[in-house]
Amino acid sequence: MNLEDIYQEYVKKDIYPYHMPGHKRNTAMMQMANPYGLDFTEIDGLDDLHEASAHLGRDSILANAMRRAARLFGAKHSIYLVGGSTAGLVCSILACTHRGDEILIPRNCHKSVYNALALAGLRPIYIYPSVDESFGVYANLRPEDVALALREHPDIRLAVLVSPTFDGIVSDVAAIAAITHEHNVPLLVDEAHGPHLGLFPGFPDSAVHQGADIVVQSLHKTLPVLTQTSILHVCSDRVDVENIVRQLTVIESTSPSYVLMASADKCVDLLEQEGEQLFSVYRSRLAQFSEQMKALKHLRVLCMGHDKPESHPNIYQYDPGKILISTRGTNITGAQLYDILLDRYRLQMEMKLRDMVLAMTSICDTQEGFDRLASALLEIDAGLTDGPLGAQFTLQQCTFSVPAMPPFVALEHPSIMRTPDEAAGHIAREFVYAYPPGIPYIVPGERIEAATLETMQQMQQSGIRLISTRHQYPSHIETI
> CATH code at 261?
3.40.640.10
User: For the whole model, what pTM was predicted?
Assistant: 0.95
Q: Which amino acid is at 183?
A: H
Comparing CA positions, the residue from 54, 53, 56 lying closest to residue 80 is: 53
Report if residue 392 sits inside a domain: no
Distance CA 439, CA 169 (A): 15
* C-alpha angle 467-431-189 in degrees, rounded to nearest 5: 105
The domain boundary residue, chosen from 237, 268, 299: 268
Check residue 184 and give left, alpha or beta (phi > 0: left; psi -120 to 50: alpha).
left
Whether 443 maps to a domain, the answer reads: yes
Query: Region 222-231: what's the mean pLDDT?
Result: 98
> Among the three residues 324, 348, 382, which one is the final residue of a domain in this structure?
382
The residue among 383 and 137 whose pLDDT is bigger is: 383
> Is residue 409 domain-resident?
yes
Within this chain, do residues 76 and 155 fall inside the same structural domain, yes or no? yes
CB atoms within 10 A of CB 386: 11
Judge if 243 and 373 occupy the same domain.
no
In a domain, 7, yes or no: no
Residues 77 and 183 in one domain: yes
Residue 30 domain-assigned?
A: no
pLDDT above 80: residue 63:
yes
Which pLDDT score is estimated for 117? 96
Q: 3-state DSSP call for residue 341?
A: helix
pLDDT-derived band at 84, boundaries 50, 70, 90: very high
- Same domain, residue pair 213 and 125: yes
End of a domain among 238, 268, 298? 268
Convert 260-295 to b/e letters by CB count within 10 Å (16 or more is b).
bbbbbbbbbebbeeebeebbeebbebbeebbebbee
Give residue 323's domain range: 276-382
The tens digit of pLDDT for each residue in 28-46 reads 888 888 999 999 999 988 9
pLDDT in tens, 170-216: 999 999 999 999 999 999 999 999 999 999 999 999 999 999 999 99
Residue 395 pLDDT > 60: no
**Separation of alpha carbons 287 and 305, rounded Å:** 9
Question: Could you tell me the CATH number of the domain that includes residue 472?
Answer: 3.90.100.10
Q: Looking at the domain assignment, is residue 19 inside a domain?
A: no
18, part of any domain: no
| Shared-domain flag, residues 334 and 445 | no
Specify whether 286 is located in the same domain as 248.
no
Q: How open is the CA angle 137-441-298, to the nearest 5 degrees? A: 30
47 found inside a domain: yes
User: Quick one: 357 and 428 in the same domain?
Assistant: no
Torsion of CA 377, 381, 387, 390, to 10 degrees: 50
Bridge partners, residue 106, by sequence: 127
What 3-state class would DSSP assign to 8?
Answer: helix
pLDDT score, position 400: 53
Backbone angles phi, psi at 317, to 5 degrees: -145, 160
Q: Which of 421, 424, 405 is nearest to 413 (CA)?
A: 405
Q: How far apart are the first and last CA of the chain?
A: 44
Which amino acid does the sequence have at 70?
A
CATH code of the domain containing 312: 3.90.1150.10
Contact criterion met (CB below 8 Å) for 190 and 109: yes
Mean pLDDT of the chain: 93
pLDDT computed for residue 393 by the predictor: 46
pLDDT of residue 146: 98
Judge if 411 and 427 occupy the same domain: yes
pLDDT tens per residue across span 297-316: 999 999 999 999 999 999 99
In the chain, how many domains are there? 3
Residue 186: per-residue pLDDT: 98
From residue 282, alpha-carbon distances to 127, 200, 279 in Å are 35, 11, 5
- Same-domain pairing of 215 and 78: yes
Same domain, 302 and 239: no
Beta bridge partners of 160: 188
> Is 242 in a helix, a strand, or coil?
helix
Same domain, 318 and 281: yes
Closest CA to 435 of 336, 361, 352: 352
The dihedral of CA 271, 274, 275, 281: what is its sign? negative
pLDDT, tens only, 234-259: 999 999 999 999 999 999 999 999 99
Q: Of 85-99, 126-140, 374-388, 455-469, which range is least confident?
A: 455-469
Whether residues 342 and 366 share a domain: the answer is yes
Taking the C-alpha atoms of residue 178 and residue 143, their distance in angstroms, rounded to an integer, is 9
